[in-house]
Amino acid sequence: MKTCLIVDDSRVIRKVSRHIVETLGMSAEEADNGRTALDHCRASMPDVILLDWNMPVMSGIEFINALRASPEGRKPKVVFCTTEYDPGHIREAIAAGADEYVMKPFDQETLQLKFELIGMA
Amino acid sequence: MTKTELHQLAVDMVSKLLHRRTGQALSADRHWRIDTALETVLRHRGIRSSEDLIVLLTEPGDSGFKEELVEALLNNETYFYRDRQVFDHLAAEVLPAMAREKGASRRLTIWSAGCSTGQEPLTMAMILLDQGECWKGWDIDILATDVSGSAIATARRGVYSNFEIQRGLAVGQMLTHFEEGAAGWRASDRLREMIRFERRNLLEGPPSGAKFDLILCRNLLLYLDAGARRVACGTLQSALAPHGRLLLGGGETVLEHSEMFRPVKGGCGLYKLTGERLAEPARRTA
Ligand SMILES: C[S@@+](CC[C@H](N)C(=O)[O-])C[C@H]1O[C@@H](n2cnc3c(N)ncnc32)[C@H](O)[C@@H]1O
């Protein structure tokens, strides 16, 4: 079973995402900011990471920069999932190594189609 | 007549109107859709009783009311790269084959019949643009039609919300082919220049002009009743070039019209004209 790490400071978003991810047949783990997500990845690297941008302690973009700096951190697919919509932010995320980008709000089908795109569904 | 009987009469009239205009038959268990559509349109127009509605429906001609009602009943559901494997197959196998077949004229004609709000023809245009070199110097014409005037207006505008743009589309393609603006994500001029949008009913015959090398008619035929399907298939048959291909939606077939179309082997919903097989010399002697 594939594992998905959901990184978001909103408990509600984590709950909604967990439901969708589990419906898609993956197991879900949660982290509430980039720092705890990094700790999680060091302990056990997920297959996919669903990543918010604005979070306390460590933001999504800081997290992905740190993650992609190590060889094993290049393996998981990273899908940004945020309220940042402008092309500047999106380009920055892609340049930092994100595989896909979802603009909130999203629904199950959108996420499923994005997971198909990165070969995860 | 009781109130319920009047309401039932109105629903029947709307159902017949929809069938007359689009060939769509709503089975009795889908009549709730009429109620939903009626509610919106009647509120919008300030019509309160079934009597008033019946009067409007009986009037000859159309002040725009009947059209609004029909449009409210159409299912315009669509998204970019709908059934991605099919578009992957088109890009990897079908288009390269067509490039070889049409190499002499370097002219390619595509028709998206029932294009809804434009995501399907835009997907085709993106695939062709992304294949770059292969189509350099080609004369490519994509016609996109739908019976719904409001869907065609949206398609022509070519502007999509955050929610619509990311349904099915990869982020890289979104950044390459769309520009973000105050109203949403707008298809680039290069994409828009490749597509002609026209309001058109599939039941009213094929578009004039050259025949098409590829026709996409996806997730439309399934809404039509047998009679309308036959007419629609006739339209598609006469619009298809002799070696052209017809692509249907997942779960749709035109096998009941095997006198017109035959499935392409391993073709993910692709069909060719039946007549073409008879014209192949190898088959004639076999
Ligand atoms: C469900 S959408 C499918 C859109 C797109 N082809 C896709 O597969 O995503 C069906 C479209 O067919 C259109 N349609 C229905 N009956 C039609 C007819 N008789 N002639 C032309 N278009 C029709 C509807 O207005 C609607 O936009």
B176 near A CB under 8 A: no
Ligand 1: residue whose CA is nearest its atom 10: B220
Confidence of residue B283 (pLDDT cuts 50, 70, 90): very low
Q: Which residue of B has its CA nearest to A105?
A: B163
Query: What is the position in ligand 1's atom list of the atom closest to the CA of B71?
Result: 25
Q: Are A1 and A27 in contact (CB under 8 A)?
A: yes
In tens, the pLDDT along B37-68 reads: 888 888 888 888 889 999 989 988 887 889 99
pLDDT attached to residue B40: 87
Q: Which residue of B has its CA nearest to A91?
A: B175
B188 near A CB under 8 A: no
List, as one string, the DSSP characters of B206-258.
PPSSSPEEEEEE-SSGGGB-HHHHHHHHHHHHHHEEEEEEEEEPTT---GGGT
ipTM value greater than 0.85: yes
CB neighbour class for B94 (10 Å; exposed up to 12, middle 13-18, buried from 19): buried
Q: Which residues pair with B197 in a beta bridge?
A: B144
Between B79, B166, B180, which is nearest A102 by CB? Answer: B166
To the nearest whole angstrom, how far is the Cα of B181 from the nearest Cα of chain A? 9
R_g (Cα) of chain A, nearest Å = 13
Out of B152, B156, B220, mutate this one to test ligand 1's pocket (max ligand atoms within 8 Å of CB): namely: B220
Query: What is the position in ligand 1's atom list of the atom closest to the CA of B146?
Result: 22
Residue carrying structure tokens 């298939």: B233
Chain-chain contact of A110 with B162 (C-beta, under 8 angstroms): no
In tens, the pLDDT along B188-225 reads: 999 999 999 999 999 999 999 989 999 999 999 999 99
A18 near B CB under 8 A: no
Contact residues, chain B, for A87 at CB < 8 Å: 175, 180
B12, two tokens: 């029947």
pLDDT attached to residue B285: 39
pLDDT of B4 > 80? The answer is yes
Between B81, B84, B162, which is nearest A85 by CB? Answer: B162
Least confident of A22-26, B37-41, B93-97: B37-41
Q: Rounded CA gap, A55 and A53, in Å?
A: 6
Strands (E), B106-230: 107-113, 139-146, 159-160, 178-181, 184-187, 195-199, 212-217
Pairing type for strands B107-113 and B212-217 reads: parallel
Three-class SS state of B116: coil
Three-class SS state of B272: strand
Least confident of B20-24, B40-44, B134-138: B40-44
CATH of A3-117, one of 3.40.50.2300, 3.40.50.460, 1.10.357.140, 3.20.20.70: 3.40.50.2300
**Residue partners of A19: CB distance under 8 A and separation at least 6:** none
Compute the mean pLDDT over every residue in chain B, rounded to the nearest whole number. Answer: 92
To the nearest whole angstrom, how far is the Cα of B74 from the nearest Cα of chain A? 21
Q: Which CATH superfamily is domain B84-273 in?
A: Vaccinia Virus protein VP39 (3.40.50.150)
Pairing type for strands A77-82 and A100-103 reads: parallel
pLDDT attached to residue B286: 35
In tens, the pLDDT along A50-80 reads: 999 999 999 999 999 999 999 999 999 999 9
pLDDT attached to residue B276: 64
pLDDT attached to residue B29: 81
Going from the Cα of B113 to the center of ligand 1, the distance in angstroms, rounded, reads 7
Q: Are A29 and A46 in contact (CB under 8 A)?
A: yes
Domain with CATH 3.40.50.150 in chain B: 84-273
Using the 8-state DSSP alphabet, how is residue B30 labeled?
Answer: G
Chain-chain contact of B162 with A102 (C-beta, under 8 angstroms): no
- Give chain A's largest Cα–Cα span: 35
- CA quadruple B259, B264, B266, B267: dihedral sign: negative
Contact residues, chain A, for B172 at CB < 8 Å: 94
Chain-chain contact of B167 with A85 (C-beta, under 8 angstroms): no
Mutate to test the interface with A, among B78, B163, B165, B166 (most CBs of A within 10 A): B166
Query: What is the position in ligand 1's atom list of the atom closest to the CA of B82?
Result: 9
Closest CA to A34 of A13, A8, A71: A8
Closest CA to A50 of A119, A114, A116: A114
Three-class SS state of B5: helix
pLDDT attached to residue B284: 39
Q: Are B121 and B142 in contact (CB under 8 A)?
A: yes
Share of chain B above pLDDT 70, in %: 96
